[in-house]
Amino acid sequence: MSALFEPITLREVTIPNRVWMSPMCQYSAEPEGPAAGVPHDWHFAHYAARATGGTGLIMVEATAVSPEGRISPYDLGLWNDTQVEAFRRITRFLAAQGAVPGVQLAHGGRKASTDQPWRGGAPVGPEAHGWQPVAPSAVPFDERHPVPTELTVDQIGEIVGQFAAAARRALDAGFEIAEIHGAHGYLVNEFLSPHTNHRTDAYGGSYENRTRFALEVVDAVREVWPEGKPVFFRISATDWLQDGGWTPQDTVRFARDLHAHGVDLLDVSTGGNAPGAMIPTGPGYQVPFAARVKAETPLPVGAVGMITEAEQAEKIIANGEADAVFLGRELLRNPSWARQAARELGGEVRVPDQYHRSV
């Protein structure tokens, strides 16, 4: 059997194969009013297509734990029950196709309140549905972004509570896996990295202090998430900075901490926290970071980053570099990538009865 198409069980959840969909924002929700943050027909069609295409795990895009936690005003959210009901339609369909529904819980931090990417992605103010972003320290992302408001200790505690409340709603909405977004320069990542965390209190300075917020979020989510269901954590394994940033060594150390706090898989990406970082991209360029965590810690890992070919993905799993691969842009280009890869590798995926003529 193809290693890529072997099932994997984490806690009590079995995922039918190792081809997983990366969380990718669609920036397509309504920005204000009763429908703010609510998934609609676009989101249903988007995720349904990948499930019918054989993808084993559908990780829904960064879903904000509060209105101010959205990356853009057009992001999805899980801060009210209207959103929960709309998500149920999606999770029911994904599960009916044999895919496992997961959701990434997120807070945008200093990179919040930006426009849709196809409109330039610049920061937006109240006149364009925007707001004042917050961060661990009053350090802007770049010259275009406003100086964020530095969070107080009480506000940090409130955000931890928002992650827990969003996790409860995610469970009610039918999700089987909750992923905490700790990557790409958003709030959790901002606390982790000395590049963005200049605090001098219990949430800044030492490694233990900088990881405190992330672990408090993990503990809060794990407390409300059922024992039999997995929690993932997405991390940027490096800031790609020569000095003063988060490093691969930090990631290995933190992976051990996450495992001790009940995280079941590390979704390993890189970058996004320092706009001037030089990143040497290429096919599978982030896989070695996942492979190192897998080799040096007990935590299962997912690999991501320019994984496009079936044979490439198969080797990553067969060689023990990762336990699964997350596909992003390739699944945007080809929603049926998993089904085609199974045919190429001699694996099997569930094919809807309506699509059997395509086999």
Q: pLDDT-derived band of residue 254, with 50, 70 and 90 as boundaries? A: very high
Which pLDDT score is estimated for 359? 79
Q: Which of 186, 203, 207, 355 is catalytic?
A: 186
Which pLDDT score is estimated for 276? 87
Helix-then-strand count for the chain, H and E: 11, 13
Q: Are 282 and 270 in contact (CB under 8 A)?
A: no
Q: Does residue 358 have a pLDDT over 90?
A: no
Q: Are 319 and 290 in contact (CB under 8 A)?
A: no
Percent of the chain residues topping a pLDDT of 90: 98
Percent of the chain residues topping a pLDDT of 70: 100
Q: Find the helix packing angle between 212-224 and 153-172, rounded to 10°.
A: 30
In degrees, rounded to 5, the angle at the alpha carbon of residue 15 between the alpha carbons of residues 166 and 347 is 150
Q: pLDDT-derived band of residue 172, with 50, 70 and 90 as boundaries? A: very high
Which CATH class name applies to 3-358? Answer: alpha beta
**Across the chain, what does the average pLDDT equal?**
97
Q: Does residue 63 have a pLDDT over 90?
A: yes
Which pLDDT score is estimated for 325? 98
Q: pLDDT-derived band of residue 211, with 50, 70 and 90 as boundaries? A: very high
Q: Is 285 an annotated catalytic residue?
A: no
DSSP designation for 239? -
Which pLDDT score is estimated for 157? 98
